[in-house]
């Protein structure tokens, strides 16, 4: 898709405006709401299971599979809409929609309405990170974007901590207030917690909706023109990437024999890979079938079916770029950017594996109650998750000013290279006090990676491509992170008789792969940055 753009030289010494700080405050709050509404189900799971007669299998589907599948899929068309429409309005509408869906869970009396609630939250949140990152990149000058990414990281950490603490505290307080079950509308504590978690999203959605839209690309001196048909382009992305309808779009776009061959051969390879992984994991850790709405479902088949679905979506996405948007295809398909996405996915896999099972580790190994583990670890994780980006943001900007993008790569490399050793040290502690002290060091080092990594990924594409780029990263991150991290820890724990400490430590086996990828990026990033505009022009972009 060739577009025209007006290029101006940006001011490298520009400071952060009041509008920039206001935008960062609101979109960081949206990030916090996203994590709060996404994660609160985990702390309320025990009460939901008891009241609704829902099994662990169904809860696992609600927490992982249902959310991840729709979140990853719909982040792509919504990311394309981020690149073509008014981002503040889109984020405000999506925030309002997912807040409504999160509150809908309070009225659930069975699996179906809970599933609809999670589906709606997953779809609505698909626009959050693409829109938030794109807004910040157009509100902050290039030499201050580390601080912008740090602000978004703080929002994520705050939302994660709130989900663990607010959910448990509100539910317990409400049940204590109405011990005889005579609460208004008959709400139990977990139902009231969903309502409380959803309410702040509505006024925040209004503030974001009415916020002034920053000029796209002005901070980079590459002003993008108005997209004449953003909603049509977004719908086309959804159709082009969804398995089944993608073949209609290949036919409609007159794809050649080569593109059809790539699609079918790619699908065959994905099916073979997922079948092999299913058989291997079934042999490694045999599990009984799950009873999902009366149907037996093999958990390993379910797991690798979702992963295969996501892999096919990614293949379809790049084929769609190739046929309809050559500049985006040429820019996004660069070694540095693809490897950074893989690194982010691998590290997110480690993070989800660690964070998803640490409360259970504290309960099993140290005898803490669920309330103690939720409050203690939730507050600690939130605090550390905010401190890390506060350090990483300015440090990332300082390194960038002296070494360019290579400075940010080095910061990510140091963080991810040494953090596994601190993780193993933390989870080999003999008592809660020692664990928390060691976890502080582990978390502070680990949290240094996110602001520079995000700044790197979005700095390697044109302003009009940032939404779809981050959406592409989102599906990679979701597949590797939510799709594999907790699953890997779970099957290792089952294999080793429930030793969660060892299982959590074992997920760090993914770290060397991330380090290798980063070493390659360190050698290539300067070249890929310098050729970005030439690759876009080669695809037909008019700059």
Instruction: Return the minimum-mean-pLDDT range out of 147-156, 229-238, 252-261, 405-414.
Output: 147-156
Whether the Cβ atoms of residue 482 and residue 68 lie closer than 8 Å to each other: yes
Look at 238 and 378; give whichever has higher pLDDT: 238
- In this predicted structure, what is the pLDDT of residue 10? 54
CA angle, 350 then 351 then 356, to 5°:
105
- Residue 227 banded pLDDT, cuts 50, 70, 90: confident
| Assigned token pair, 121 | 């939250």
Residue 221 has pLDDT above 50, yes or no: yes
E strand spans, 365-443: none
Element (H, E) at 355: helix 335-366
Which has the closest alpha carbon to 198: 129, 100, 65?
100
- In this predicted structure, what is the pLDDT of residue 13? 52
Whether the Cβ atoms of residue 382 and residue 153 lie closer than 8 Å to each other: no
- In this predicted structure, what is the pLDDT of residue 293? 61
Count of Cβ atoms closer than 10 Å to residue 395 Cβ: 18
pLDDT tens per residue, range 158-196: 887 788 777 778 888 887 887 776 777 778 888 888 999
Say whether 508 sits in a helix, a strand or coil: helix
| Assigned token pair, 325 | 């948007």
- Residue 381 banded pLDDT, cuts 50, 70, 90: confident
Count of Cβ atoms closer than 10 Å to residue 516 Cβ: 12
What percentage of the chain has pLDDT greater than the value 90?
Answer: 31
Residue 35 has pLDDT above 60, yes or no: yes
What is the spatial distance between Cα 238 and Cα 157, in angstroms, rounded to a whole number? 30
Residue 2 has pLDDT above 50, yes or no: no
Element (H, E) at 224: none
Look at 64 and 50; give whichever has higher pLDDT: 50
| Assigned token pair, 85 | 């429409």
Residue 59 has pLDDT above 70, yes or no: no
Residue 149 has pLDDT above 60, yes or no: yes
- In this predicted structure, what is the pLDDT of residue 14? 62
What is the spatial distance between Cα 157 and Cα 418, in angstroms, rounded to a whole number? 21
What is the spatial distance between Cα 370 and Cα 167, in angstroms, rounded to a whole number? 12
- Crossing angle for the helix pair 18-52 and 128-137, to the nearest 10 degrees: 170
- Residue 4 banded pLDDT, cuts 50, 70, 90: very low
What is the spatial distance between Cα 396 and Cα 390, in angstroms, rounded to a whole number? 10
- Residue 335 banded pLDDT, cuts 50, 70, 90: very high
Residue 336 has pLDDT above 60, yes or no: yes
Please compute, for residue 382, the number of CA atoms within 13 A of its CA located in the half-sphere on the CB side.
19
What is the spatial distance between Cα 192 and Cα 398, in angstroms, rounded to a whole number? 45
Instruction: Return the minimum-mean-pLDDT range out of 30-39, 172-181, 335-344.
Output: 172-181
What is the spatial distance between Cα 502 and Cα 527, in angstroms, rounded to a whole number? 41
- In this predicted structure, what is the pLDDT of residue 519? 96
- In this predicted structure, what is the pLDDT of residue 11? 54
- In this predicted structure, what is the pLDDT of residue 500? 74
Q: How far is CA 352 from the centre of its chain?
A: 10
Whether the Cβ atoms of residue 204 and residue 79 lie closer than 8 Å to each other: no
End-to-end CA distance of the chain: 13
| Assigned token pair, 512 | 């060397």
CA dihedral of residues 410, 411, 417, 423 (deg, nearest 10): 180
* Most distant CA pair in the chain, distance: 70
Instruction: Return the minimum-mean-pLDDT range out of 23-32, 39-48, 140-149, 453-462.
Output: 39-48
- Residue 371 banded pLDDT, cuts 50, 70, 90: low
Whether the Cβ atoms of residue 430 and residue 500 lie closer than 8 Å to each other: no
pLDDT tens per residue, range 495-523: 777 677 788 888 888 889 999 999 999 99
Q: Which residues in 199-227 are b (16+ Cβ under 10 Å) and which e?
A: ebbeebbebbbebeebebbbbbebbbeeb
Instruction: Return the minimum-mean-pLDDT range out of 63-77, 195-209, 333-347.
Output: 63-77
Domains along the sequence of the chain with CATH: 15-211 (1.20.1250.20), 239-324 (no CATH), 325-543 (1.20.1250.20)
Residue with token string 């089944």:
244
Residue 348 has pLDDT above 70, yes or no: yes
- Residue 6 banded pLDDT, cuts 50, 70, 90: very low
E strand spans, 401-452: none
Look at 417 and 14; give whichever has higher pLDDT: 417
| Assigned token pair, 92 | 């405000």
Whether the Cβ atoms of residue 188 and residue 176 lie closer than 8 Å to each other: no
Look at 261 and 190; give whichever has higher pLDDT: 261
What is the spatial distance between Cα 426 and Cα 508, in angstroms, rounded to a whole number? 13
- In this predicted structure, what is the pLDDT of residue 495? 74
The average confidence (pLDDT) of the chain is 84
What is the spatial distance between Cα 179 and Cα 30, in angstroms, rounded to a whole number? 34
Q: Is the dihedral of CA 312, 467, 229, 327 positive or negative?
A: negative
Look at 285 and 76; give whichever has higher pLDDT: 76
Q: What average pLDDT score do residues 250-258 get? A: 91
φ, ψ for residue 292, nearest 5 deg: -110, 105
Q: Which of 48-57, 137-146, 368-377 has the highest mean pLDDT?
A: 137-146
């Amino acid at each position: 898709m060739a577009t025209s753009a007006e290029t101006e030289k940006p001011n490298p010494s520009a400071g952060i405006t009041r509008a920039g700080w206001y935008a960062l405050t609101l979109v960081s709050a949206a990030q916090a709401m996203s994590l709060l509404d996404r994660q609160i189900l985990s702390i309320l799971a025990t009460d939901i299971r008891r009241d609704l007669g829902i099994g662990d299998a169904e809860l696992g589907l609600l927490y992982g599979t249902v959310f991840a599948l729709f979140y990853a899929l719909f982040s792509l068309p919504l990311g394309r809409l981020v690149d073509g429409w008014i981002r503040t309005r889109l984020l405000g509408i999506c925030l309002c929609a997912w807040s409504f869906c999160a509150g809908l869970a309070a009225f659930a009396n069975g699996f179906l309405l809970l599933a609809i609630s999670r589906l709606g939250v997953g779809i609505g949140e698909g626009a959050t990170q693409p829109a938030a990152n794109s807004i910040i990149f157009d509100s902050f000058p290039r030499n201050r974007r580390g601080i912008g990414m740090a602000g978004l990281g703080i929002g994520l950490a705050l939302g994660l901590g709130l989900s663990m603490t607010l959910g448990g505290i509100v539910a317990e307080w409400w049940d204590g207030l109405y011990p005889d079950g005579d609460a208004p509308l008959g709400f139990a504590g977990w139902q009231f917690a969903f309502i409380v978690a959803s309410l702040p999203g509505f006024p925040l959605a209004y503030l974001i909706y009415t916020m002034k839209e920053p000029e796209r690309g002005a901070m980079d001196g590459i002003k993008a023109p108005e997209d004449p048909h953003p909603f049509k382009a977004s719908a086309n992305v959804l159709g082009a990437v969804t398995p089944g309808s993608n073949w209609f779009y290949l036919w409609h776009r007159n794809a050649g024999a080569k593109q059809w061959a790539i699609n079918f051969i790619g699908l065959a390879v994905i099916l073979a890979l997922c079948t092999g992984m299913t058989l291997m994991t079934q042999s490694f850790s045999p599990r009984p079938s799950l009873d999902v709405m009366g149907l037996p479902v093999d958990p390993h088949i379910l797991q690798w079916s979702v992963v295969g679905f996501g892999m096919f979506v990614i293949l379809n996405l790049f084929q769609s770029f190739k046929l309809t948007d050559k500049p985006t295809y040429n820019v996004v398909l660069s070694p540095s950017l693809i490897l950074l996405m893989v690194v982010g996915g691998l590290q997110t896999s480690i993070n989800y594996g660690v964070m998803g099972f640490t409360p259970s580790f504290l309960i099993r190994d140290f005898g803490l109650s669920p309330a103690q583990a939720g409050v203690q670890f939730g507050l600690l994780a939130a605090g550390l998750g905010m401190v890390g980006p506060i350090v990483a943001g300015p440090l990332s900007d300082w390194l960038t000013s002296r070494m360019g993008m290579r400075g940010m790569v080095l910061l990510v490399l140091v963080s991810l290279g040494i953090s596994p050793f601190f993780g193993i040290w933390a989870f080999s502690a003999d008592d809660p006090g020692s664990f928390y002290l060691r976890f502080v060091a582990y978390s502070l080092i680990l949290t240094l990676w996110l602001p520079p990594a995000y700044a790197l990924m979005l700095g390697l594409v044109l302003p009009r491509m940032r939404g779809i780029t981050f959406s592409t990263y989102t599906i990679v991150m979701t597949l590797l992170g939510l799709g594999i991290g907790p699953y890997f820890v779970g099957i290792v724990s089952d294999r080793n008789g429930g030793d969660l400490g060892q299982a959590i430590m074992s997920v760090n086996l993914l770290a060397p792969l991330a380090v290798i990828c980063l070493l390659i990026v360190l050698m290539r990033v300067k070249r890929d940055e310098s050729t970005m505009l030439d690759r876009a022009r080669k695809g037909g972009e008019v700059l």
